[in-house]
Homo-oligomer: A and B are copies of this chain.
Amino acid sequence: MDYDPHEYPEDLDPRVEGLVTEIIGRVADKWTMLVLEILTEQGELRFSKLRAECEGISQKMLTQTLRAMERDGLVIRTVHPVIPPKVEYRLTELGNTLAEAFCGVWVWAARNVDQIEASRAAFDERA
């Protein structure tokens, strides 16, 4: 290592900048955010319940989203060895902190829905 990372503010360190962008890209997608929100509110849920909550997600996408989240250490997947199978998902501590970080975005969106709709209407009017 050529330099002390503590010389740089976290988000300006060129070593992590690319990684951060990549992680943001991974995590900032519709379904991930929704799963995060749902698990935050409802705690541990089994696959089918989670799917029902996700309104319109396909089984494929939910599985895919959960796998990626598990890989990133955001959720814990618990398989209960019973028949029929029962698999439950809950957030890790890391997942909880991410949900917390995103919380501000949800609040922002809820708070500014009207203004955004108005802006869109005005924009579409001019065109």
Contacts and interface: CB of A to CB of B under 8 A. Distances in A.
Tell me the interface secondary structure of chain A in the complex: helix
Interface in A86-103: 94, 97-98, 100-103
A123 B24 contact: no
Interface string A1-23: 00000000011010010011101
Contacts of A123: 70-71, 73
A79 interface: no
A83 interface: no
Interface of A: 10-11, 13, 16, 19-21, 23-25, 27-30, 33-34, 70-73, 94, 97-98, 100-113, 115-120, 123-124
